[in-house]
Amino acid sequence: MKEPKFFNIEVRKPANLKDDLLSGLTVALALVPEAVAFAFVADVEPLVGLYAAFIVGLVTALIGGRPGMISGATGALAVVMVSLVADHGVEYLFATVVLMGILQIGAGLLRLGKFVRLIPHPVMLGFVNGLAIVIFVAQLDSFKIPNAEVLFQLDLSFYSLWTSHIMVSEDLLIMIGLMCLTMAIIYLFPKLTKAVPSSLVAIVFVTLVVIGFNLNTVTVGDKASVGGGFPDFHIPMVDLTWENLKIIFPYAAILAAIGLIESLMTLSLIDELTETRGNSNQECVAQGTANIITGFFGGMGGCAMIGQSMINVNSGGKGRTSGISAALFLLVFILVGSSLIEMIPIAALTGVMFVVVISTFAWSSFKTLNKVPLTDALVIVLVSALTVIFDLAIAVFAGVIVSALAFAWENAKRIRVRKKVDKQGIKHYEVWGPLFFGSTTLFQTKFDPQNDPDHVIVDFLESRVADHSGIEALNTLSERYAKVGKKVEFKHLSQDCRNLLEKANQLVNVKIIEEADDPRYFVMQDPT
């Protein structure tokens, strides 16, 4: 099946419109606390996260390649942004988000979206595990209660990456209690009904408890004023200089890579759930367009959200209307509900984020570690660790490289050669397995020019020359036989192998037997 062309936008039937609208409202209610929480993770104003959720969600719903997928501010991007904001300020963040969008559009136009298929499953497991750990660590800052009367000190320096100890006070105990209450409601409320998002119910209930009992705890309003309004156009106040570009480009490249990886992984997941196929390249362009716009309207940027997309699809929202309505409902909350958002306790948001951490972490990977090949287990641990130490993009790239090298090594050991001599005294070598950079050394050891007869034929019916290293191996083999005055010929080379040899005709001296190609051979096609 071919991918649909760019900007293939379908219109939902009226019968499905109700499901999309109700699902959109559910998603919007759940988006509010997460957008605010991720804004705090990135160390920016809550409104910056809310604007990103609205703009990115609306644009990707309109022109994205996967109807029913929800995008917005995410923790994967927020944990990378925090150091940029801390070192250079929020204006640099806006400029970085714009450049991030440009890079993502470029990836879509170059049709790089299909390469998400090359991400192995162990890398995906390590990805989500590392993301969960990073979000968890980011929440530890919420437990630092200023101006609190200390009851006793608990040394947690081994467990905390950010603090040497936690001050245990009455305010902290209140916060922990509210956080646990939030998590309990999120887990237990769905047993009663799933008509309303449990995270929303938990936040409303905990907020009412804080107000009703006049509890002394930190709220969103204590940290920042939401002050909701329609986002204004704003050019990032960053001079266009080479020095500034050197600051923002590395962050933009990392954010672009993380955003596309998470978006395309989510797209693949929704494809499986809905038994349909989205357009990965169109989604890259849509994500880039959304981030450029949000950067110019004071948003922190975003990408696809696995959790919210699952909520949307499970609630019946499978069309573009669901994403559009979710973004518009969110805008209504920003315009008229900002004062209510400021009343939310930080403890409630922390509880929501801990639930996100628990649901994001692939707990099944612990059972998987001793059942999969050692290399795959190593990749899961490696990607998880690199995500915490560096960032998600570096971790995923490293995981893909290690998986590719492990695959190459295993295939390098699979090359085999069967030998026989015919009635004319010609020795035949039948090669099995791919001939590429990893298998050339072993390939050379299978031949014996000194003791072989004067005429040798190497049959590639069950093999394939895959790269330039393979071509050079054939050339080297020819030279080895030529030095001892013997002739070696190659047959059953596929057409793509012959094309490689023709391109390198000035570099190699290989004798090919001209005969009809074996019907079992075919030229490998690049899937689209």
Beta bridge partners of 71: 304
Q: According to the model, what pLDDT value does residue 312 have?
A: 81
Contact 93, 84 (CB under 8 A): yes
Q: According to the model, what pLDDT value does residue 508 have?
A: 54
CA distance to 55, 88, 132, 136, per residue, from 202 (Å): 26, 36, 21, 19
Three-state DSSP at 400 gives helix
Q: According to the model, what pLDDT value does residue 523 have?
A: 39
Contact 233, 296 (CB under 8 A): yes
What would the two tokens of residue 321 be?
A: 């209307």
Q: According to the model, what pLDDT value does residue 227 have?
A: 66
Q: d(Cα 122, Cα 132) in Å, to the nearest integer?
A: 15
DSSP state of 3: P
Contact 165, 156 (CB under 8 A): yes
DSSP state of 451: T
Whole-model pTM: value is 0.69
| Residue burial 104-140, b: 16+ Cβ < 10 Å; e: rest | bbebbeeebbeebeebbebbbbbbbbbbbbbbbbbbb
What would the two tokens of residue 255 be?
A: 């954010």
Q: According to the model, what pLDDT value does residue 4 have?
A: 45
Fold of domain 413-503: Transcription Regulator spoIIAA (3.30.750)
Distance of alpha carbon 97 from the chain centroid: 17
**Along the 528 residues of the chain, how does pLDDT read in single tens digits?**
444 444 554 444 544 787 788 778 878 877 877 788 788 888 888 889 999 999 999 999 999 999 989 999 987 788 889 889 988 999 999 999 999 999 999 999 998 887 777 778 888 888 778 878 877 877 777 776 555 444 444 444 444 444 444 445 677 888 899 999 999 998 999 898 877 768 778 888 999 999 999 998 888 777 767 666 788 898 999 998 999 999 999 999 989 988 998 898 888 878 877 778 889 899 999 999 999 999 999 999 999 987 778 778 876 778 899 999 999 999 988 888 778 878 888 888 888 878 878 887 888 888 888 888 888 889 999 988 887 787 677 888 899 899 988 888 888 888 899 999 998 999 999 999 889 989 999 999 999 999 999 999 999 888 888 888 888 898 899 889 999 999 998 888 877 777 766 766 655 566 677 654 444 444 334 444
Q: Distance between terminal CA atoms of the chain?
A: 8
Place of tokens 């948003």: 299
Residue 373 burial class via C-beta count within 10 angstroms: exposed 0-12, middle 13-18, buried 19 and up:
exposed
Of residues 453, 415, 455, the one with CA closest to residue 435: 415
